[in-house]
Amino acid sequence: MFEEAQYLAPVTRKADGSIEVELSRSHPGFADQVYRERRNRIAELALRHTPGEPIPEVDYTPEEHDVWRIVSAELAVAHQELAVAEYLHGCRRLDLPKDRIPQLQEVSELLEPLTGFRYLPAAGLVELREFYGTLADSYFHSTQYIRHHSVPLYTPEPDVVHEVIGHANALASDRFAALYRLAGEAARRVESREALEFVSKVFWFTLEFGVMAENGELKAYGAGILSSYGEIREFRGMDIRALDLAAMGTTAYDITHYQDVLFRAESMDHLEDVVGAFWATCDDESIARLSVAVS
Ligand code: TIH
Ligand code: FE2
């Protein structure tokens, strides 16, 4: 939840102190009063959370648990065929519930002994520097609501399916967790807004939407592909380009539809050597040089 932030529904406090999530007219839940009420309550919970305290529990409805059950079963099948081995390794280690939405506190407690990562609830937009910076401390800001039941295949809005099935399974792998941390360290190191955006775009085209060659086949490791059973069935037909820092850091993308440009790493080692090393060492100057190379 970060670049995605630009799509997130704004959260406002009304005069009477209550919290309102402003869904846009085009949101599938816009006309659904019950869903809107849920979103307001869940945002309120996140705002009440104090770091260090357990993450407040959401009393998900049977209908919401159904969405998780259906989506997670579909995705588990797709993952066997289309996800990279390192992600599947994370799935086996984390072993998420399939029949109900797990509480973020529970996800956090499953994850911490594996790689040290913990979850924090986010009511809405988390500022770029904050979202990435805290990755360096092994914290992942996560939304807690679930997508509207009318759009289980794909949502442009990050939800608990995306944050947990997409990201937590990756964060359960030591190798992916190390990459997330390096992205966080890079975000803390760079100073200019331009450099921070470059770092976040490299994250977008890798940990969010990255694909990888594996045994002669194209597999996905990006959380955004791995949480959408619409998109995961389509990514092999997209415009697949070679891994290229300058291109990833400067290519524009539209969050509201399937990503049509994807960058392919040749292996886990390749991803670590190029992107991991970039995040480990980049600064404003090196990023300015990379940006000039493509403009
Ligand atoms: N499109 C993803 C899904 O349907 O699970 C969610 C998001 C990924 C990245 C941004 S929003
Ligand atoms: Fe994400």
Cα 61 to averaged position of ligand 2 atoms, centre (Å): 24
In this structure, the residues whose C-beta lies within 6 A of any atom of ligand 1 are 4, 154-156, 158, 161-162, 208, 224, 227-228, 255
Answer yes or no: is pLDDT of 214 > 70: yes
State residue 7's pLDDT score.
60
- Residue 28: exposure state from Cβ atoms within 10 A (0-12, 13-18, ≥19): middle
Give me the chain's average pLDDT, please. 94
User: What confidence tens digit (pLDDT) does each residue in 267-279 have?
Assistant: 999 999 999 999 9
State residue 112's pLDDT score.
98
Q: What is the residue-wise DSSP string for 45-103? A: HHHH--TTSPPPPP---HHHHHHHHHHHHHHHHHHHHHB-HHHHHHHHHH---SSSPPP
Annotated active-site residue in 162, 163, 200, 214: 162
Kindly report the protein residue whose alpha carbon is nearest to atom 3 of ligand 1: 228
Is residue 173 part of the annotated active site? The answer reads no
- The best mutation among 146, 153, 155, 232 to test binding of ligand 1, ranked by most ligand atoms within 8 Å of the C-beta, falls on 155
- The best mutation among 227, 234, 256, 260 to test binding of ligand 1, ranked by most ligand atoms within 8 Å of the C-beta, falls on 227
3-class DSSP state of 217: strand
State residue 2's pLDDT score.
47
Is residue 270 part of the annotated active site? The answer reads no
Report how far residue 203's alpha carbon sits from residue 135's, in angstroms, rounded to the nearest whole number. 12
User: What confidence tens digit (pLDDT) does each residue in 16-25 have?
Assistant: 888 999 998 8
How confident is residue 40, by pLDDT bands cut at 50, 70 and 90?
very high
Q: What is the residue-wise DSSP string for 220-276? A: E--HHHHT-TTGGGTGGGSEEEE--HHHHHH----TTS---EEEEESSHHHHIIIII
State residue 52's pLDDT score.
86
Cα 265 to averaged position of ligand 2 atoms, centre (Å): 19
Strands 261-265 and 217-220: unpaired
Structural element, H or E, at residue 121: strand 118-121
Annotated active-site residue in 208, 214, 228, 231: 208
Annotated active-site residue in 4, 227, 228, 231: 227
Residues whose CB is less than 8 angstroms from the CB of residue 272 and which lie 6 or more positions away in sequence, other chains included: 175, 178, 179
pTM over 0.90, yes/no:
yes
User: What confidence tens digit (pLDDT) does each residue in 111-145 have?
Assistant: 999 999 999 999 888 889 999 999 999 999 999 99
How confident is residue 10, by pLDDT bands cut at 50, 70 and 90?
confident
Cα 90 to averaged position of ligand 1 atoms, centre (Å): 19
Alpha carbons within 13 A on the beta-carbon side of 15: 0
User: What confidence tens digit (pLDDT) does each residue in 151-168 have?
Assistant: 999 998 999 999 999 999
ipTM of the complex, rounded to two decimals: 0.96
Q: Looking at the CA of 224, which ligand is closest?
A: 1
Report how far residue 96's alpha carbon sits from residue 165's, in angstroms, rounded to the nearest whole number. 8
